[in-house]
């Protein structure tokens, strides 16, 4: 496997067209320099990182099509390759949604997941002991949330989507009448199924399983599948920049700070890594994210 060591876009951001249906197509050329020789076109595309359905680097509405071409830019140097890319406002695979017989189906169910509770739902204050310390064992709640099963008719199995299973939406999107803010929808499964009509024509009934999660952070913003955690530790960053064990009052000598003892439970720390009495919450994104607009999912629930 070769790694990309340099990328040079040619005529960056120029060129494009719009058809009579309003679909915009944008073409780009790019030179990729690898750190090792690549003598196979399939390997060059794989190592380049370009994949059908990728969002354009500066336009969220343009999606990379699957017909990527690659050729050695300099015949005597197989480290330098020229890629021709095509972006479009339509999904990255041809869809059968314009067919007269096309009728997507939408089923709504539910799924559940465990969540560690770190703050009260009424007061929004962190769940702490009267001493200001976190409980030794975290509180776990079981949450129910919607899951959508959507089947659409297409001309391809679009197997590229299988690699996207487990990814969340990187922009807000409306699916089956439900507005899904960024990171609030996950592609839980993708099942392509060939279908032959009465005349023997082949199409595909492709089913998407979309999990929804509308978890709100302490600020009230819906962050969905992002993780929120109360920052707590047995250590803090000292004045010398090194980690120091957190010391707390000795219950036998509460007024004598020289007799402080090691904290028996994690203590709250702030963004600076020092012990604090002000709750500090961190957010993390453990999942890959992709543009769900490439899937061509219906935006309304009552599909006719």
Quickly list DSSP for 26-40. EEEEEEEEESS----
Statement: residue 302 has pLDDT above 80:
no
Give me the mean pLDDT over the 220-224 stretch.
92
Give me the mean pLDDT over the 9-31 stretch.
78
Statement: residue 14 has pLDDT above 80:
no
Query: In the numeric block, which tokens belong to residue 285?
Result: 């994104």
Q: How far is CA 124 from CA 22, 49, 190, 216, 278, in A?
A: 47, 43, 37, 11, 13
Q: Using CA atoms, how far apart are residues 279 and 57, in angstroms rounded to an integer?
A: 36
Q: How many C-beta neighbours within 10 Å does residue 236 have?
A: 20
- Global pTM reads 0.65
What's the mean per-residue pLDDT of the chain?
Answer: 85
22 vs 153, more confident: 153
Statement: residue 239 has pLDDT above 60:
yes
Which residues make Cβ contacts (< 8 Å) with residue 196, sequence separation at least 6? 202
Which residues make Cβ contacts (< 8 Å) with residue 11, sequence separation at least 6? 28, 29
Give me the mean pLDDT over the 13-30 stretch.
77
- List 8's β-bridge partners, or say none: 31
Statement: residue 92 has pLDDT above 60:
no
Give tens-digit pLDDT for 155-174.
888 888 999 999 999 999 99
């Amino acid at each position: 496997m070769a790694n990309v060591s340099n990328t040079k876009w040619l005529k960056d951001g120029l060129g494009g067209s719009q058809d009579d249906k309003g679909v915009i197509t944008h073409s780009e050329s790019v030179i990729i320099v690898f750190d090792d020789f690549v003598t196979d076109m399939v390997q060059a595309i794989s190592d380049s990182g370009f994949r059908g359905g990728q969002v354009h680097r500066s336009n969220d509405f343009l999606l990379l099509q699957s017909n990527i071409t690659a050729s050695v830019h300099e015949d005597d140097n197989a480290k330098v390759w020229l890629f021709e890319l095509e972006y479009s406002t339509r999904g990255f695979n041809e869809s059968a949604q314009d067919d007269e017989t096309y009728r997507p189906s939408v089923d709504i169910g539910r799924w559940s997941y465990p969540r560690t509770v770190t703050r009260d739902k009424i007061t929004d204050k962190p769940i702490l002991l009267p001493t200001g310390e976190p409980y030794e064992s975290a509180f776990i709640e079981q949450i129910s949330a919607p899951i959508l099963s959507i089947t659409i008719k297409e001309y391809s199995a679009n197997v590229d989507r299988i690699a996207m299973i487990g990814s969340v939406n990187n922009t807000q999107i409306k699916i089956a009448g439900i507005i899904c803010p960024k990171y609030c929808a996950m592609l839980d499964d993708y099942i392509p199924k060939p279908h032959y009509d009465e005349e023997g024509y082949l199409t595909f009934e492709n089913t998407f399983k979309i999990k929804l999660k509308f978890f709100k952070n302490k600020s009230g913003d819906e962050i969905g599948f992002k993780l929120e955690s109360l920052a707590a530790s047995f250590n803090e960053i000292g004045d010398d920049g090194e980690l120091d064990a957190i010391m707390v009052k000795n219950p036998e000598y509460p007024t004598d700070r020289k007799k402080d003892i090691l904290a028996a439970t994690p203590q709250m720390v702030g963004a600076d890594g020092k012990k604090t009495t002000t709750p500090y919450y961190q957010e993390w994104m453990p999942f890959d994210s992709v543009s769900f607009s490439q899937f061509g999912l219906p935006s309304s629930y009552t599909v006719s």
